[in-house]
Structure 1
Amino acid sequence: MSKKVVVLGSINVDTTYHVDRFPQPGETISAKSKSSAPGGKGANQAVAAARSGAQTAFIGAVGSDSEGQYMLEALKDNGIDTRHVTIDKYHGTGTAAVTLDAEGQNDIMIYGGANQAMTPDMVDDIDDVLDGADFLISQFETPQEVALAAFKKAKEHNVTTILNPAPAHEILPDLLKVTDVIAPNESECALLTGIPVTDEDAMLKSAEYFQKQGVKHLLITLGSKGVFYATPNAHGLVPAFKVHAVDTTAAGDTFIGALSSQLENDLSNVADALVYAQRASSLTVQEMGAMPSIPTADKVKAALAEK
């Protein structure tokens, strides 16, 4: 039976500038090419969940502009329920300017627009999508107060909450109290806990830090080194798949969305679900663009079957 996943988060139109290298301060360089694609951390995560077979609904906001219509269609084309995407008449749809170098690394500038204008009252009527849901996911490209209101509602429906604290900044203590799983990368984890991610001992101390705040489960993505997980019952490191990355945009988002499509609510299968999520992410970085590069379940399973 497929998982039911709800994502609260950002919707952006990504414009990517392809360059040989990043410019130095004050330097002007030429882009080799430019491309646009649907994106935003929230939208990417929802698409990743949907393409891996989860029944997916989205909570967010777009402007009353052509970009907003474009993004709504992109979500609907992936079978995502968009009834709770608000059309904001006063703020434009979020946009991201991505600079991508020849090594596949990126720099991103984001205009929040309608994403940052979201307010807690926008989640007053989300009980219909939370009813029977397995997971509610949120990130930090929308206001934390909105995530807090939604997570509180999720707890009323016994929905497991997943917080992807990216981009990282100080977290509302009340939000951590209603977060079941927190999934930062290593730099975000260090910023949030004050504990540099140097070895397993440091990561276990990070898990203890979050457990004291009320978060039972920690997942730290470590790039090419894999993913560390710590639950009340177990901890370990799931290695990454070695691939040649051409564009790392949406790698983390694919990981979160794909994970939610496989994970049991009690995290009893966390190691297996992490292998699936890692494989999905490894496929994403081998393709260009954010949303266009996110793989389907068939592609992930075929890649997992390869020796």
Structure 2
Amino acid sequence: MKKVIVLGSTNVDTILNVQRFPQPGETLAMDGRAVAGGGKGANQAIAAVRSGAQTAFISKVGKEGAADFMIDTFKKDGMNVDHVRCSETAGTGQAYIMVDAHGQNSILIYGGANQDVTVEDVHEAETAIKAADRIVAQFEVPIPAIIEAFKIARANGVQTILNPAPAIKNIPTELLAVTDMIVPNETEAEIITGIKVTDEASMQANAEAMFKLGIKVVIITVGSKGSFYATPTATGFVPAFKVNAVDTTAAGDTFIGALSTKLELDYSNIEAAMTYANKASSIAVQTKGAQNSIPYEKDIQL
């Protein structure tokens, strides 16, 4: 069983179902509205624990009922929430997600308590970080906290996985220096390298550019097509499973959480782990919502 620790965001998602996205100045009626747990960090932690990892979570929430709802959800899945703290100044993060009739989404984020995650919070979780096999982080919490967590991990032989989302153009070199694996989607990859992802050759060019930044392993996810990988010794493409997607929210998070659970620390089973993660993601997109759509290991049959 892998020991995975996730540093990241906790949000409460408000999902707005529409036939199509409105144009500027246009008013449209919604087909439906729902509220559910979300946040990239929380989604990835839930995906990891549901795929069998011993999972701990470093995050921050407010002090309202939304926070209690989220923490209860984490506990039901058996997640270690010892390092989910309460902010003294901000409410629990919120996401407003529009999903169209084809399952595509557009998302607006209110950071809230997620922006209060500090280096001190990371230090309080230092023992948990040292005990993990790998740590996963994204950009919905402040980057100084991620850098500190990855430095602690690197100093203690803990593998680091960065999901550079939401994308930023100039990732601090201090963070890249302590990142073992990076997992962007095609848009995020282009923002990092300036190289548009159009085919496998351009994915390889992206990977080579990221290698020059100090990254050891690169995985680029390309939605319904699948995912590309490049290690120091091998490259390849793992196709996605063909399904009828109704909501792509949390698809990428499900992939990363599932991958972090199944991938060996020496990357020796990278194609098998990516196949499993693709399968988990393909199941998630067939249900509306984020965390409620993330499958359990028993449901991911290859």
Q: TM-score, normalised by structure 1?
A: 0.96
Partner AA of 2:100 in structure 1 = D
Distance in 1, matches of 2:246 and 2:92, equals 27
Distance in 1, matches of 2:154 and 2:185, equals 25
CA drift at 1:172:
0.9
SS in 1 for 2:116: coil
Distance in 1, matches of 2:185 and 2:165, equals 8
CA drift at 1:123:
0.5
1:32-53 residue CA offsets vs partner (Å, 9 max, x unmatched): 2110000100000000000000
Distance in 2, matches of 1:19 and 1:292, equals 20
Distance in 2, matches of 1:200 and 1:103, equals 26
Q: Which residue does 1:281 correspond to in 2?
A: 281
Q: Cα RMSD between the aligned structures?
A: 0.9
Distance in 2, matches of 1:32 and 1:182, equals 37
1:249-301 residue CA offsets vs partner (Å, 9 max, x unmatched): 00000000000110011111101000000000000000111000000001002
1:263 aligns with 2:263: yes
1:108 aligns with 2:103: no
CA drift at 1:89:
1.6
Partner AA of 2:218 in structure 1 = L
Partner AA of 1:66 in structure 2 = G
Distance in 1, matches of 2:206 and 2:191, equals 11
Are 2:227 and 2:238, in contact at CA under 8 Å, matched by a contact in 1? yes
Distance in 1, matches of 2:272 and 2:47, equals 17
Distance in 1, matches of 2:231 and 2:244, equals 31
1:202 aligns with 2:202: yes
Q: How does 1:14-29 map to 2 (within 5 A)?
A: 14-29=13-28
1:98-144 residue CA offsets vs partner (Å, 9 max, x unmatched): 11111111111010001012221211122221233111000011111
Q: Which residue does 2:70 correspond to in 1?
A: 71
CA drift at 1:60:
0.7
Q: Which residue does 2:238 correspond to in 1?
A: 238
Distance in 1, matches of 2:147 and 2:221, equals 23
Q: Could you tell which deviates more after superposition, 285-294 or 123-132?
A: 123-132
Q: Which residue does 1:8 correspond to in 2?
A: 7
Q: Could you tell which deviates more after superposition, 202-211 or 160-169?
A: 202-211
Are 2:7 and 2:135, in contact at CA under 8 Å, matched by a contact in 1? yes
Q: Which residue does 1:251 correspond to in 2?
A: 251
1:54 aligns with 2:66: no
Identity across the alignment (%): 54
Partner AA of 1:40 in structure 2 = G
Partner AA of 1:128 in structure 2 = T
- Provide the aligned length of Structure 1 versus Structure 2: 301
Q: Could you tell which deviates more after superposition, 126-135 or 4-13?
A: 126-135
Structure 1 unaligned spans of 5+:
none
Structure 2 unaligned spans of 5+:
none
1:210-260 residue CA offsets vs partner (Å, 9 max, x unmatched): 111111100000112110000001000001100000010000000000001
Q: How does 1:73-152 map to 2 (within 5 A)?
A: 73-152=72-151
Q: Which residue does 1:168 correspond to in 2?
A: 167
Distance in 1, matches of 2:32 and 2:211, equals 46
CA drift at 1:191:
0.8
Distance in 2, matches of 1:13 and 1:207, equals 34
